[in-house]
Amino acid sequence: MNLQFTEEQLMVQDMVRDFAQSEITPFIEKMEEGEFPREILKKMGDLGLMGMTTPEELGGAGMDFTSYILAINELSKVSPVVAVILAVHTSVGTNPILYFGTDEQKKKYIPKLARGEYLGAFCLTEAEAGSDAASIRTRAVKSADNYVLNGSKVFITNGGEAEVNIVFASTNPEKGARGISAFIVEKDTPGFIVGKNEEKMGLHGSKTVQITFENMKIPASQLLGEENHGFKIAMANLDVGRIGIAAQALGIAEAALDASIEYAKQRVQFGKPIAQQQGVGFKLADMATMVEAAKLLVYKATDLNNRGKDCSKEASMAKLLASRAAVQVTTEAIQVFGGYGYTKDYPVERYFRDAKITEIYEGTSEIQRIVISKNL
Ligand code: CAA
């Protein structure tokens, strides 16, 4: 495994770090109040960040996967909200079209997605089909040259904001996972109804909505890949997507660790900085060890995918460990800050609220264990 990043990758990392600190930090308060960061996404589009791994001939920046993961990680240290918007847009909003789309579909959607003119979303989850994704009930029925979709999705990240939606629906309900198809659905299609935006514990500013399809007619040309082969499209893109969420979780943990070290070095109690009190020093040691272990797994999975190798197991391991690290390190960070950590005067309470979801979305920790154990 190569943990030596190239000069180009390090340049991308520096550029994203600077961008996050100068452009995103001032916007955090607005996002905490629920504002979706459209302006920031526009700037990210101008910098090529909305199509980092998209080939240049399709309007992207043509960078490698490692650069993309470094970018997600840097963004997450400042704003896990912006990071998840980008991660969903890229790995499950754009890549399904890039990898499974026809030339026509690619030409129509990819350049706009890569430039950030379009935002992408992934509509899989339903009220009764979360972890058991194959049990979705949204139906797509073919009639002449169209499909008519009926059903409802929940917890759709970027939903309602995204112009392009990768929608999964059953075309053959008797066949379960083997009867699911994927479709490219534009937001302004009649019958595409955006519902409630969830009020979440964290990730304020990221949209999480319900979407209903009511007799929504789409041309048959919007089918992505082959009919009844959609579940594999979902799974394959989630495999890689999970590395992005792992990098997000790692970024949250790193930010909480850095803030804790800085605070512990200057906060004096019993006549010396609390970092020099064993109770706190040991806590910081455990936090740093968790972060380092998560980092190794995240970049191992990243490296495998970067070299075109199968990374399903490692991606799930990275997400499982990094999300645990994020939850544990942010919890301990509040403890290091004491009462101040429980207030909004310091960022650790936000890190704590933002961390928890990384153990849930793009497959819960329990689902990651299923994927890992199946691969053993
Ligand atoms: N790649 C390609 N194909 C795969 C695959 C993979 N990683 N995993 C499974 N498949 C294929 C199988 O080969 C099988 O195909 P065949 O029948 O032709 O052999 C088919 O898919 C069904 O496989 P399983 O029987 O293993 O499927 P399952 O019903 O047992 O489910 C699961 C497997 C891993 C539990 C899956 O349901 C799963 O990942 N659940 C979690 C769902 C999830 O992650 N949702 C996230 C929503 S998106 C999101 O959260 C974004 C956001 O907001 C940030």
- 3-class SS of residue 345: coil
Overall number of domains in the chain? 3
Establish whether residue 239 lines the binding site of ligand 1, counting it when its CB lies within 6 angstroms of any ligand atom.
yes
170 within some domain: yes
Give the CATH number, domain containing residue 67.
Answer: 1.10.540.10
Q: Same domain for 295 and 357?
A: yes
The reply to whether ligand 1 has any atom less than 6 angstroms from the CB of 133 is yes
CATH number at residue 164: 2.40.110.10
Q: Which atom of ligand 1 is nearest to the CA of 374?
A: 26
- The angle that helices 348-355 and 312-337 make with each other, rounded to 10 degrees, is 150
pTM of the shown model = 0.97
The closest alpha carbon to 116, from 161, 71, 64, belongs to: 161
Residue 99 CA to residue 190 CA, distance in Å, equals 27
Residue 160 CA to residue 165 CA, distance in Å, equals: 9
Residues known to be catalytic: 362
Whole-number pLDDT of residue 1: 66
* The pLDDT of residue 2 is above 70: no
216 and 295 co-located in one domain: no
Q: Where are the beta strands (DSSP E) in 263-307?
A: 268-269, 272-273
As a dihedral over the C-alpha atoms of residue 14, residue 18, residue 24, residue 26, rounded to 10 degrees, the angle is 160
93 lines ligand 1 (CB under 6 A): no
- Which band of pLDDT confidence, cut at 50, 70 and 90, is reported for residue 3? confident
84 and 199 belong to one structural domain: no
In a domain, 108, yes or no: yes
Q: Ligand 1: which atom is nearest the Cα of residue 177?
A: 22
Average pLDDT taken over every residue of the chain: 97
pLDDT in tens, 82-91: 999 999 999 9
C-beta of residue 84 within 8 angstroms of C-beta of residue 72: no
Instruction: Compute φ and ψ for 157, nearest 5 degrees.
Output: -65, 135
CA of 230 to the centre of ligand 1 (A): 10
Residue 1 falls within a domain, yes or no?
no
Measured between alpha carbons, how far is 38 from 324 in angstroms, rounded to an integer? 30
Substitution candidate for ligand 1 out of 158, 178, 231 with most atoms within 8 A of CB: 231
Q: Is there a single domain that holds both residue 248 and residue 135?
A: no
**How crowded is residue 154: how many other Cβ atoms within 10 Å of its Cβ?**
20
**Residue 74: pLDDT above 80?**
yes
Residues near 353 by beta carbon (within 8 Å), at least 6 away in sequence: 201, 202, 203
Residue 76 belongs to a domain: yes
pLDDT band at residue 284 using 50, 70 and 90 as cut-offs: very high
Q: Final residue of a domain: which of 197, 228, 259?
A: 228
